Structure 1
């Protein structure tokens, strides 16, 4: 099982700060297409991705027990 964390507006769009999915052996890209396609995320394509608190990309292969975080772009002024 893999924990998926959402921050800021992604959390609001998901309706939860965390979901747990079976994604052992999947890439981040496969995780998104297989498990997150049912959510209507507006900025997921622009979100930074971290796996186990280290920045990653969509080709990262996940293992059971990993924690994936999607962090949307931040703007301010």
Structure 2
């Protein structure tokens, strides 16, 4: 199992801030694709991603017990 954290509009889109899913040993890119299939209202292809609080690329593999965070672009002024 892995833990997926969602923030801002991603959280609002699915009504949850956290998911526990059995997607261990998949790449970040594969997890994004799975998420978009499960929740078609999400678009994660341009989101920054972190595994265990360290930025991750789409080719990195999530292991059992990892926490993945999808981080929307930040804007401000």
TM-score by length of 1: 0.89
Partner of 1:31: 31
* Runs of 4+ residues over 2 Å off in structure 1: none
Deviations 1:17-56 (A, max 9, x none): 00011111110111122244221114x2221100000000
CA distance in 2, matches of 1:14, 1:47: 16
The structure carrying a bigger strand percent of its residues is 2
Pairwise CA distance, 1:10: 0.8
User: Paired residues, what number?
Assistant: 76
Unaligned stretches of 5+ residues in structure 2: none
SS of equivalent residue, structure 1 residue 30: helix
CA distance in 2, matches of 1:66, 1:26: 11
TM-score by length of 2: 0.89
SS of equivalent residue, structure 2 residue 23: coil
Partner of 1:8: 8
* RMSD (Å), alpha carbons: 1.2
CA distance in 2, matches of 1:27, 1:33: 10
Unaligned stretches of 5+ residues in structure 1: none
CA distance in 2, matches of 1:35, 1:25: 15
